[in-house]
Structure 1
Amino acid sequence: MDWLKYLLIPLTMSALITPILKVIAVKLEIYAQMNERTVHSGKIVRIGGVAIYVSFIVCMACFMKTDATINGILIGGTIMFLGGLIDDMVDLKPKYKLAIECLAAIVLMVVGKVSLDVIRLPFGITIDMGIISFIVTFVWIIGITNAVNLIDGLDGLSGGICAIILVVIACMSVVEARLDIETMSLLLAGSILGFLFYNLHPASIFMGDCGALFLGFIISAISLLGFKSSTIMTLALPILLLAVPIVDTLGAILRRKLSGHKFNEADKKHLHHLLMQRFGHRNTVLILYIVTALFGFTAYLYLVNKGTGFLVLFIIAIVVELFIETSGMISKQFHPILSIIKGIKKRCLQLYHMIYKKKSQKEIQNDIQK
């Protein structure tokens, strides 16, 4: 029953610390700023990530043995947390935030010796990354960190998704016999769950950048650490687990690139914004929880049965792609699969009319347009 202890102790700590943070933040007037991307109204404090950080660090000190890797994760995570906390209080310029993220990533790789040296692909294909392993690892850490931060747009969304991802990683770590990853994942998941009592809609406190950046950083480190020596496909399962934030981030990059906007310009065309327009706040968060859990289940299923895992993943991927195209998440002109379907439908109609109705090409074209 150790797994229950690893969940409940940080959960209790986080749940007790969060109300104290609310009082402190109100006195310091650390409120969430309203912009084009936010959906909240009124003054809501935004340093809830402190509760997650403190609970996790204290429990790590109690339950985990220190080594170079753990030191790298904790030192890098602390740098990321402090950078996010400063941003929550004074609104750092994007270039300064990026500099802090880069520093934290370098600490993780140099002090913790965390790197992606080998990529394993299906059919036993192995790629030795060599000198570019540093670049790939760096991009992964920065990318996942910012992906988690970008989905922190609705009450309970980022925290809940991260908690689901961490629980799934813990389950997969049992299969892979990685007790260290299991313990670390459950401790962080518990720290998030305690905070979520106050962050679910309608939220009375936000985690802020100190929480979102910290969570993204730790999850990126755990995913690399947990699967770098695995016999399964390297990075494939972490990408699958993090599908929601990754898809949302890639969509934002493409959307803003195509529209000529800067990447750091806020908008309301993120995945959760599009869903909220149709399903409302609570239902959108619940839908994205379920989607994340489905991707997590697929990743776990792949460990048990690769064929079934691939089939389920293919179906989910098609559904997600169709949503992206029909919603205009990237662009109203971006619809490759729908274009293929439309082309097939057009060709079938042409053949049908030519064979059974013997109509002219002009008549066929008129029917298709109708």
Structure 2
Amino acid sequence: MIDYRMILLPFLISLILTPIVKQYSIYCGAYAKENKRTVHHGKISRIGGVAIYLSFIITMAIFVKADLQIKGLVIGSSIMFFTGLIDDLIDIKPLVKLTLEVIAALVLIYFGISVDIIRLPLGIQIDTGIISFVFTIIWVAGITNAVNLIDGLDGLAGGMSVIVLVVIGSIAIIERRLDLLSIAFILASGTFGFLAYNAHPASIFMGDCGSLFLGFMISAISLLGFKSSTILTLALPILLLMLPIIDTLSAILRRTLKGMKFMEADKSHIHHLLMRQFGHRNTVIIMCGLTSLFGLSAFAYMINRNIGFFVMVAILLAVEIFIEKSAMISEKFHPLIGLWHRIQRKSRKIFKKVG
């Protein structure tokens, strides 16, 4: 089993370093800028990810023996961390950021972290090198940006990341993967220490250096854990990250319909819409709660596929109905509700004829 010091140390490092990072922000001017999309007021540090990154790197160096894949994980995640840190300090263009995400994904591939074979139902296998290569890059960039996009409320990205990492670590216990267990719990512990200052009302933000680092690490850990995966095991990390994935896809569709650029920010993400109705703190609790339910449904699926599948579908239907009712994508986008209304109209016509 995992050494308890491996969990305690990153928590303490992050807990101690975060106030130091806040003080340093005074000298380097690394504050979150207020604009029409922000929900904070005043000067708040936006480089809190430094504490998460250092707590992870220091603990890994002390407790985890670095093999080839661990080296690739550290190098790739460091590229993402410093990309985010530079963006937090001086702002870099979205295309440059995306290019560096691709480079970080290529580092993972070079060190042997990728999905080489995807086994689908009915015995179908996808093992073409170029498909696996492209899939890995899209996966890393997609999950990294998904976590980055949900970093809009106090404690949201950090809280959801902790839940995802704990679930992945717990699944690693079942699968007897001590390497994944150690990495996931070390990162979750360091992030949890940061959350002591990032919970609403936050006195520090993780910034892009934190969200890009966490997003990259989650994508890389899932690739490391579900290599040569079946469609089921590949679906588990997707399931755990369902909310940020749905949010990202909705943002792409919404901005395309409005003629906006994909990287052009707006205030129509899931967390923004929830906050208008439930408030800041409750929105974070709701989204973290939903992520926990997705995690529990993954465990339920492993125990009983029918029950697990039913829970997954129920949660997804609830999220879809919310998206349609809130006009998150468009006022005209309501396929599920529209289908239900058509069924109701046809049912009433049938009953009238029968009556």
Same fold by TM-score greater than 0.5? yes
- TM normalised by structure 1 equals 0.93
Partner of 1:297: 296
Deviation, structure 1 residue 242 = 0.6
Which residue does the alignment assign to 1:52? 52
Matched residues in 2 for 1:254 and 1:349: separation?
A: 34
TM-aligned CA distance change 1:124 to 1:315, over 3 Å? farther
The answer to which of 126-135 and 328-337 deviates more is 126-135
| CA apart distance, 1:355 | 2.2
Distance in 2 separating the partners of 1:46 and 1:124: 48
Secondary structure, aligned partner of 2:330: coil
Are the counterparts in 2 of residues 325 and 334 from structure 1 also a CA contact under 8 Å?
yes
Alignment of 1:4-23 (within 5 A): 4-23=4-23
Whole-angstrom distance in 1 between the partners of 2:231 and 2:253? 30
- Corresponding residue of 1:288: 287
Map of 1:366 onto structure 2: none
How far did 1:286 drift? 0.1
CA contact (8 A) 1:122 1:233 kept: no
Q: Which amino acid aligns with 1:92?
A: I
| Kept after mapping to 1: 8 A contact 2:76/2:105 | yes
Report deviation, 1:130.
Answer: 3.1
User: 1:1-370 counterparts in 2 under 5 A?
Assistant: 2=2, 4-110=4-110, 112-122=111-121, 125-229=124-228, 233-356=232-355
CA contact (8 A) 1:13 1:55 kept: yes
Structure-2 separation of matches of 1:4 and 1:292: 25
Matched positions, count: 355
Partner Cα separation in structure 2 for residue 331 and residue 194 of structure 1:
38
Partner of 1:363: none
1:333 is paired with a residue of what secondary structure? coil
Tell me, in whole angstroms, the C-alpha distance in 2 between the residues paired with 1:223 and 1:124: 23
Counterpart residue type for residue 316 of structure 1: I
Q: Distance in 2 between matches of 1:246 and 1:198?
A: 26
Instruction: Find the residue that maps to 2:232 and give its secondary structure.
Output: coil
Specify the code of the residue in structure 2 equivalent to 1:284. Answer: T
User: Quick one: distance in 2 between partners of 1:167 and 1:322?
Assistant: 28
Counterpart code for 1:86: I
| CA displacement 1:275-326 (0-9 Å, x = unmatched) | 0000000000000010000001111222222222111111111111111111
Query: In the alignment, is the contact (CA less than 8 A) between 2:117 and 2:229 conserved in 1?
Result: no
State the shift of 1:5 in Å.
Answer: 3.0
In structure 2, give the amino acid aligned to 1:202.
P
SS of the residue aligned with 1:33?
coil
Separation (CA, whole Å) in 2 of partners of 1:34 and 1:76: 31
Shift of residue 354, structure 1, vs aligned partner: 2.0
In structure 2, do the counterparts of structure 1 residues 238 and 181 end up closer, same or farther at CA, with 3 Å as the change threshold?
A: same
Return the letter of the residue paired with 1:201: H
Query: Any idea what SS the aligned residue of 2:37 has?
Result: coil
Letter of the structure 2 residue corresponding to residue 238 of structure 1: P
* 8 Å Cα contact 1:44/1:206 also seen in 2: yes
2: CA distance between counterparts of 1:33 and 1:73? 31
Cα distance change, pair 302–242 in 1 and its aligned pair in 2 (3 A): same
CA distance in 2, matches of 1:113, 1:58: 23
The structural deviation recorded for 1:50 is 0.2
Contact 2:73 2:108 in 1 (8 A): yes
Equivalent AA in structure 1 for residue 59 of structure 2: C
Q: Tell me: CA distance 1:304–1:230, structure 2 relative to 1, closer, same or farther (3 Å).
A: farther
Deviations 1:74-121 (A, max 9, x none): 0011111111101100011112212221221111111x2111111233
CA offsets, 1:115-167, max 9 Å, x none? Answer: 11112334554332432110000000001000000000000000000000000
Looking at structure 1, the residues matched to 133 and 246 of structure 2 have their Cα atoms a distance apart, in angstroms, of: 24
Answer yes or no: is the 8 Å Cα contact 1:121–1:234 preserved in 2: no
In 1, the alpha carbon distance for the partners of 2:122 and 2:240 equals 22
Gaps of 5+ in 2: none
SS across alignment from 2:126: strand
Q: Say if 1:237 and 1:299, in contact at 8 Å, map to a contact too.
A: yes
TM superposition shift of 1:230: 5.0
